[in-house]
Amino acid sequence: MSAVLEVQDLQKNYADVAAVNGVSFAVQPGEIVGLLGPNGAGKTTTISMILGILEPTAGSVSILGKDLASHRQEALEHVNFAAVYAQLPPNLTVWQNLYVFGMLYGVTGLAARVASLLKEFDLEKFTKTKSGALSSGEQTRLTLAKGMINSPTLIMLDEPTASLDPSSARDIRARIKTYAHSQHAGILWTSHNMHEVEAVCDRVIFLSHGKILLEG
């Protein structure tokens, strides 16, 4: 099977500063790749370019063989994203958030998909609760559920368990690993928790000053 994600010589410049400088890597089906590095290393900038939020200064991103620059919609319909800082609309209920994002992705059988995710992420009792009233851990679970709504083939997770207690974080890690392997999905996972990285990632990429320092 071809790579889920291929990044070739990716670069992002801000004036004279290279935030990302010639980054190349791939994520294979069923593989969880850790993207590591200190603050300012270029991790979030790299993810933003893969998501199409930022336009690269140079280089290319290919998702399931589709070039992001020329086939944006076809590429991104197979992608999703979750991060603790990317909170969902607080005035929508848990159910409404999942349903609205499911509509945006054109998910078929959406009501059943939402019900399944509510159960899977232990959110059934919060169905009618506005997401802004949830605890940080509950919001994290909702964000992860949203990240699964379209059954993506590529998921980018930025510190996905940062607000969870150790038991919940362990359960979420196991769930994501099972999803990656059973659905042949690629996962790009950033974290500062090295225990978590060791437990969940098949391979790690270390970024420093916008360049890949180590990989393996």
Q: What is the pLDDT of residues 153-189, one digit of tens each?
A: 999 998 888 778 888 888 888 889 999 999 999 999 9
Q: What six digits make up the tokens of 97?
A: 């958030």
Instruction: List pLDDT tens digits, range 84-125.
Output: 778 899 999 999 999 999 999 999 999 999 999 999 999 999
Q: What is the mean pLDDT of residues 22-27?
A: 95
Q: With 70 as the cut, is the pLDDT of residue 1 above it?
A: no
- For tokens 């996972």, what's the residue? 189
Q: With 90 as the cut, is the pLDDT of residue 2 above it?
A: no
Look up the pTM and report it: 0.89
Question: Residues 186, 120: contact at Cβ < 8 Å?
Answer: no
> Quick one: which H or E segment has residue 44?
helix 43-50
Instruction: List pLDDT tens digits, range 48-78.
Output: 999 999 999 999 999 999 999 999 999 999 9
Q: With 90 as the cut, is the pLDDT of residue 128 above it?
A: yes
Q: Which residue has the higher pLDDT, 115 or 199?
A: 115
Least confident of 109-113, 130-134, 191-195: 191-195
| CA nearest to 113, candidates 78, 152, 162 | 152
